[in-house]
Structure 1
């Protein structure tokens, strides 16, 4: 059996680098990015242009979608082009190409207002441990509560994944990534 072919959008980024160093011996990795990644087949393309990125998906088993504007305080325009239109194009290119699974890199910012607005999580976030009343109810992460346009874009990606699973049968895994520090 041949190695599974995995396309990583954002292969040149921080998390892409972690994937390169930890998974390249287990999978046949390729990249879709704005710049070439040495040692890996890389398609150079802007996610906001479906026709530009579509060739990268040919023959791919799994897509790991990391590429995005990572600025969690970014404005509407950058999130619309890079994170919303780009994510839609990744899902659509995967569907057209017959990709079986998409792993979407979401963010804690999709639910970011929970710890900023609601006690006891706000009290924990602020370090006000004396004010916490017990028992503490577990934090539900089922409902989105974005803390900015970046969080909105990640919540959109999760919802789009649900749609592509239900409508087209593509396996979609959404991972809410928090803080990534090297080496992780």
Structure 2
């Protein structure tokens, strides 16, 4: 019997963590790192730790193959969302991300997948034609538009987006200077309810099963994939966050989309 890959997930209690968990537990030996603990896992695979405290992370990294880092300040599970104060985002998204990558490297982890965000490029939505594509009003749509790829100019318009962009570049640094692979997954519009809302959701939605598929493809990607960034989006009619790179490199095949 083939031994399952050992996966450590931070932020498993969050919205995205709960969306992904059903698919992850079927394929991998899942452990969780959390300040408050999680339910449904053996006690030996639950690590109570604070990502801002680097020493507290080390026991969780032992014998882990891949880390999926979802924990963050300013995300959906944060009390104040993207309005979370700078101190909280500095603590969780910058110091915490560094701590995860550094302890993973020291422990010999093969790959870290960082949950980035569409917020690194939300500034596009202030401009046409993207402004019309995310409008909740019934506006005329252009016949075509330029897609925003992973390596297009970033345009964060929130401190949350800035900190997520920092995490992407920190991951690039670790991929370039260590044996570890780092993949950034730009998670777009994905809520607890598996539906696309109005406005931005019509363009940027990622269904639960599409996000599950793409995440497992990132986890299972060959070791030769040393560093990359992928948009996590379904095949929506108004899509402008380009998921073609994930299709080409990972074999991603979205099953859903807003038509």
Same fold (TM over 0.5): yes
Greater shift after overlay, 14-23 or 38-47? Answer: 14-23
Query: For the residues of structure 2 that align with 1:59 and 1:141, how far apart are their CA atoms?
Result: 32
Query: For the residues of structure 2 that align with 1:17 and 1:135, how far apart are their CA atoms?
Result: 35
Query: For the residues of structure 2 that align with 1:31 and 1:100, how far apart are their CA atoms?
Result: 17
1:35-114 matched pairs, under 5 angstroms: 35-40=36-41, 41-69=45-73, 70=75, 71-114=81-124
Q: CA deviation at 1:21?
A: 1.7
Stretches (4+) displaced over 4 A: 132-135
Query: For the residues of structure 1 that align with 2:53 and 2:129, how far apart are their CA atoms?
Result: 43
2:111/2:180 contact within 8 Å kept = yes
Q: Secondary structure at the match of 2:27?
A: coil
Partner of 2:188: 178
Query: CA-atom RMSD, angstroms?
Result: 1.7
Q: CA deviation at 1:167?
A: 0.8
Q: CA deviation at 1:136?
A: 2.5
TM-score when normalising by structure 1 = 0.91
Aligned residues: 182
Superposed CA offset, 1:68-126 (max 9, x none): 121222221111001110011000011010000111111000111111x2211123223
Q: CA deviation at 1:137?
A: 2.5
1:33 aligns with 2:37: no
Q: Higher relative contact order by CA 8 Å / sep ≥ 6: 1 or 2?
A: 1
Superposed CA offset, 1:46-78 (max 9, x none): 111100111100100000000012122222111
Partner of 1:2: 3
Q: CA deviation at 1:172?
A: 1.1
Unaligned runs of 5+ in 2: 76-80, 195-207, 209-259
Unaligned runs of 5+ in 1: none
Query: For the residues of structure 2 that align with 1:59 and 1:19, how far apart are their CA atoms?
Result: 22
